[in-house]
Amino acid sequence: MTIQIKACTLSDLHVLQDVSIETFQDTFKHQNSPENMQAYLDRAFNLTQLEKELLQPSSEFHMIFADDDIAGYVKVNIDEAQSENMGQDSLEIERIYIREKYHNQGLGKHLVQQAIDIAKERGKAKIWLGVWEKNERAIAFYHKLGFVQTGAHSFWMGDEEQLDLIMTKTLE
């Protein structure tokens, strides 16, 4: 399998929307009501919102491809684009998703490494992310990569408040 990671541009907007909706639904639909899921999808992944995020200078989206098929993506934020004020020395992984058919093939690790590389290029000392407390698989994955829990914050899925664990990795 040939793996490539490419930065997203506005020309990728519709593909980004499709893969965002697909991966988010596949990851969380069984643990959330259809109404809350749809409310979140409508708010987070509408074309206007995604275009705004793509144009934000302190955010970047990168897609990972497996043999020319889109396998997932990562969104990173620095500075004022971070969803929590974690300081100028931090980079946030706001979203990282792999399509189900590409799970367990090491692609998530490639995307985390992409985020680490971006953080180092920009002189950041740490990377962090929020992960739903019920997403045990993801929590174990991040622990394996050297992330530790450093806090928690609220995440709204429709009208339901959920708890995201904040996990941080200090960069060497």
Confidence at residue 136, expressed as pLDDT on a 0 to 100 scale: 94
DSSP single-letter state for residue 135: -
- Phi, psi (degrees; rounded to nearest 5) at 28: -120, -5
CATH topology of domain 3-170: Aminopeptidase (3.40.630)
Q: Please, what is the end-to-end C-alpha distance for the chain in angstroms?
A: 30
Q: Cα(39)–Cα(52) distance, rounded to whole angstroms?
A: 19
* Distance set, CA 121 to CA 23, 114, 128, 154 (Å): 28, 11, 16, 30
Q: Cα(40)–Cα(69) distance, rounded to whole angstroms?
A: 26
Q: What is the biggest distance separating any 2 CA atoms in the chain, rounded to whole angstroms?
A: 43
How does residue 14 score in pLDDT terms, banded at 50, 70 and 90?
very high
Confidence at residue 155, expressed as pLDDT on a 0 to 100 scale: 93
Q: What share of the chain is helix, strand, coil (3-state, %, to 5)?
A: 40, 35, 25
pLDDT (mean) for 26-35 = 94
- The residues annotated as belonging to the active site are 142
User: The pTM is what?
Assistant: 0.94
Structural domain spans, the chain: 3-170
Q: Cα(67)–Cα(48) distance, rounded to whole angstroms?
A: 30
DSSP single-letter state for residue 106: S
Angle between helices 13-28 and 47-55 (to 10 degrees): 110
pLDDT (mean) for 22-38 = 95
Confidence at residue 172, expressed as pLDDT on a 0 to 100 scale: 84
Reported as a single tens digit per residue, the pLDDT across 107-146 is 999 999 999 999 999 999 999 999 999 999 999 999 999 9
Q: Cα(49)–Cα(30) distance, rounded to whole angstroms?
A: 25
Confidence at residue 122, expressed as pLDDT on a 0 to 100 scale: 96
Q: Is the pLDDT at 102 greater than 90, yes or no?
A: yes
**H or E element, residue 37:** helix 34-44
pLDDT (mean) for 97-103 = 97
Query: What is the average pLDDT score of the chain?
Result: 96
Q: Is the pLDDT at 169 greater than 90, yes or no?
A: yes
Q: Is the pLDDT at 88 greater than 90, yes or no?
A: yes
Reported as a single tens digit per residue, the pLDDT across 43-84 is 999 999 999 999 999 999 999 999 999 999 999 999 999 999
DSSP single-letter state for residue 151: E
Share of the chain above pLDDT 70, in %: 100
